[in-house]
Structure 1
Amino acid sequence: MTATVGSFGFQSLTETFTVDVSRAEGRPLNVPLVAPFTIASSRLDVVKNVAIRVELSNGSVGWGESPILPFVTAEDQASALEKAMDVCSFIKRSKPKALKLLLEEIVEIVPGHAFASVRAGVEMALIDAVANSIRVPLWRLFGGVSKSITTDITIPILPPLEAAKLAEKYFHQGFKTLKLKVGKNLNADIEVLGAIKAAHPKCSFILDANEGYTAAEAIEVLKVLHEMGLSPILFEQPVHRDNWDGLREVSQVARDIYGVSVAADESCRGLFDVQRIIHGKLADVINIKLAKVGVLGALEIIEIARKAGLDLMIGGMVETRLAMGFAGHLAAGLGCFKFIDLDTPLLLSEDPVIGGYEVSGAVYVFNNARGQGGFLNWNCNE
């Protein structure tokens, strides 16, 4: 069962609920990782995001998060924080109006890919505050299909022995799907994949190259893995985001010869990209990330992709449970995602957020709590 975009309460709520913002603020959200997070395009040691807090005149509070991932998001923390404060000032000055109108005005202020993560963070906070106002959990607001999700867990680019130890650890914690970061060195990637499969022989695995391969290298990886008796359930962003011909070539070979689906992630930065992928048959799966397209943009893309017969994945950009909680509520409520990659709070050395959901191994359970959690030790003094 999945919820259609027109069947859940969120759409009607945006037209009927009048929003009156009394406070809105953004602050740096810096959290160290358990270990360096290395992908083909960058390395992260500390999460440096922006947390957003919105309070309505009725006292209801909502939370959002704008993630910063070098070489993926268009903004750094300083510029994101500055833009977030601009948008927060705008919504505080705004006269009471329907949530739909306010969200549309935010899209006009922060359009497109630049500062999309800021737009997403403010949208999350506003929607969360409204959900708190009407005492409805977000997962129910977004369709109510389920109140839990099962996520994969990511293994960054590591030497084979370290990767194998992580795989064994995750096996004992109950993770059945591993997402393996590749794309930096073809031969090293193949060696790591063999070591991981030996340590966790029954796991399913996703390859995520983060644009790191050429088309020829991506096809070579699939060929060698096939010879090793290994087959990923998904191959995510094998080539550079602008290499459309390469994406089409890898997708065709992966699908027709090896039975592997290819997902577009960095290549999908908005509705125009999705339409291009659909019309050109460039990929089988669209990776939805709220930080790339915002909440409203994500819902629009979900509807179009599903009508076109594409599968959906939901992922993140190394966020805390503020953003991952919201994305998880959305995924659980809609029930339409074949691949769920919302593991990044599990990679942090500390958790600055309370509430939102309970974690049991790979499963996130969203109870009937109204919102998605809140920031620990936040004092909003204005």
Structure 2
Amino acid sequence: MKIERIEAIPYAIPYTHPLKFASGEVTTADHVLLRVHTDTGLVGVADAPPRPYTYGETQASIVAIVEQVFAPQVTGLDVLDRGKIHAVLNRTIHNQVAKGALDIALWDLMGKATQTPVHKLLGGYTDHMRVSHMLGFRPAQELLDEALRFGEEYGITTFKLKVGRRPLGLDIEACHVLREGLGEDVDIYLDANRGWTANEALEVLRRTEGLGLSLLEEPCDAKEAMSRRRLVQKSPIPVVGDESVPTAGDVSRELLSGGCNAICVKTARSGFTEAQQILGLCTGLGVDVTMGNQIDTQIGSLATVTFGAAHEATSRRAGELSNFLDMADDLLAEPIRIENGTISVRDVPGVGAAIDEGKLAKYRLS
């Protein structure tokens, strides 16, 4: 089964309201749909979400790198020769989201070719994941109202609060209001997207002590190595590496240098293959992992569920899987359902991301 051609289709779907956080805001899903066509007629599908303010990739750059660099080099190669394909891709530095989407599309093809769900090829530990919902920058009462609504409508009991604002009091107030309004049984954790200094992060931890916050993600820039190391040593809760650890090499550097003591895995930037390598490092070193969200569409969220449910370590915590609910529409032919706070994998060959061709024609940009 050889790669015959690769499509990189840019499309845009608006969000019902912007998601705001320390490193920027998102008003439209300006993504790229990747489709890998083979000489057998099978097609592998994946979604590439560009995040220029985090990784430097744009919609145009993903289309360009796939069409002008990757496709000419991998066309004609056997889909099952993933090691050979990754060796080709790795000759080009960076471009993690483009590489990750291509890898997921290859796994999708392997599942379809073997008539096996990809979550079973990856490990098959369970068939679902609990859902964590991400709360963006808003007044504290609005955040609580949104969390209560998602709890009531979808059964979600884990919330990731986007922080990193100045003055610090805005985020501290939100933590207190959420804990008081949601009760002790709801899991709340923080993501500052590098918005604070290490000292500001320590001050927030001091003023939220006793609230039972479970994690602190990317509180300050990991490039401030000494400050970050001091924060990790003093923090009473795990400090999670996310933007600072897009590759397995970055993960090993940050864990071994003391820059973090937990890791966020995002299949949108690592694909499934490097995500397995990252997970192996984490389990070997005994650090917790979370399954993160790249503000994904349903296609991306389905990929996250597929990988997260496949492994014991990634299924322990709720995965960030629900922000597609803030989109006005999606490309999946069969929409994802959140039931009792969980999303199930699809028991079909591949990942299960069948595309609604009518919607793709409506939202595609070329």
Structural mapping, 1:225-304, within 5 Å: 225-226=208-209, 229-255=210-236, 260-304=237-281
Match of 1:69 in 2: 51
Match of 1:11 in 2: none
Does 1:209 pair with 2:192? yes
Structural mapping, 1:41-52, within 5 Å: 41-52=23-34
Q: Equivalents in 2 of 1:190, 1:287: separation in Å?
A: 23
Aligned mate of 2:61, from 70, 73, 79: 79
Match of 1:144 in 2: 124
Give the drift of 1:90: 2.2
**Measured at CA, do residues 93 and 352 of structure 1 come closer, stay the same or move farther in structure 2, by a change above 3 Å?**
closer
Q: Equivalents in 1 of 2:80, 2:172: separation in Å?
A: 53
Could you tell me which amino acid in structure 1 is paired with residue 198 of structure 2? A
Q: Equivalents in 2 of 1:295, 1:135: separation in Å?
A: 18
**Measured at CA, do residues 290 and 252 of structure 1 come closer, stay the same or move farther in structure 2, by a change above 3 Å?**
same
May I ask how many residue pairs the two structures share in their alignment?
354
Match of 2:10 in 1: 28
Q: Equivalents in 1 of 2:279, 2:148: separation in Å?
A: 34
Match of 1:181 in 2: 162
Give the drift of 1:297: 2.0
SS in 1 for 2:282: helix
Q: Equivalents in 2 of 1:376, 1:273: separation in Å?
A: 37
Match of 1:343 in 2: 322
Q: Equivalents in 2 of 1:345, 1:322: separation in Å?
A: 9
Aligned mate of 2:111, from 131, 134, 139: 131
In the alignment, structure 1 segments of 5+ residues that lack a partner are: 1-18
Give the drift of 1:158: 0.6
Q: Equivalents in 1 of 2:204, 2:272: separation in Å?
A: 34
Q: Contact 2:4/2:76 (CA < 8 Å) preserved in 1?
A: no
Give the drift of 1:87: 4.8
Match of 2:203 in 1: 220
Give the drift of 1:95: 4.2
Q: Contact 2:222/2:259 (CA < 8 Å) preserved in 1?
A: no
SS in 1 for 2:338: strand
Q: TM-score, normalised by structure 2?
A: 0.90
Identity %: 23
Q: Equivalents in 1 of 2:189, 2:78: separation in Å?
A: 46
Q: Contact 1:261/1:284 (CA < 8 Å) preserved in 2?
A: yes
Q: Contact 1:180/1:206 (CA < 8 Å) preserved in 2?
A: yes
Q: Contact 1:358/1:366 (CA < 8 Å) preserved in 2?
A: no
Q: Equivalents in 2 of 1:166, 1:356: separation in Å?
A: 22
CA RMSD in angstroms comes to 2.1
Q: Equivalents in 2 of 1:195, 1:212: separation in Å?
A: 21
Deviations 1:257-309 (A, max 9, x none): xxx11111112132332222222233221111123334322211211121111
**Measured at CA, do residues 369 and 98 of structure 1 come closer, stay the same or move farther in structure 2, by a change above 3 Å?**
closer
Give the drift of 1:125: 0.9
Q: Equivalents in 1 of 2:52, 2:143: separation in Å?
A: 23
Match of 2:294 in 1: 317
Q: Equivalents in 2 of 1:356, 1:333: separation in Å?
A: 21
Q: Equivalents in 2 of 1:282, 1:189: separation in Å?
A: 23
Q: Contact 1:209/1:238 (CA < 8 Å) preserved in 2?
A: yes
**Measured at CA, do residues 99 and 321 of structure 1 come closer, stay the same or move farther in structure 2, by a change above 3 Å?**
farther
Does 1:305 pair with 2:287? no
Q: Equivalents in 2 of 1:266, 1:346: separation in Å?
A: 23
Could you tell me which amino acid in structure 2 is paired with residue 242 of structure 1? K
**Measured at CA, do residues 92 and 269 of structure 1 come closer, stay the same or move farther in structure 2, by a change above 3 Å?**
closer
Q: Equivalents in 1 of 2:29, 2:69: separation in Å?
A: 22
Does 1:108 pair with 2:79? no
In the alignment, structure 2 segments of 5+ residues that lack a partner are: none
Q: Equivalents in 1 of 2:207, 2:79: separation in Å?
A: 58
Does 1:366 pair with 2:345? yes
Give the drift of 1:254: 1.5
Q: Equivalents in 1 of 2:79, 2:322: separation in Å?
A: 36
Q: Contact 1:33/1:47 (CA < 8 Å) preserved in 2?
A: yes
Q: TM-score, normalised by structure 1?
A: 0.87
**Measured at CA, do residues 307 and 153 of structure 1 come closer, stay the same or move farther in structure 2, by a change above 3 Å?**
same
Does 1:153 pair with 2:96? no
Give the drift of 1:356: 7.9
Q: Equivalents in 2 of 1:271, 1:358: separation in Å?
A: 32
**Measured at CA, do residues 328 and 190 of structure 1 come closer, stay the same or move farther in structure 2, by a change above 3 Å?**
same
Give the drift of 1:97: 6.3
SS in 1 for 2:195: coil
Larger displacement relative to structure 2 (144-153 or 298-307): 298-307
Could you tell me which amino acid in structure 2 is paired with residue 136 of structure 1? T
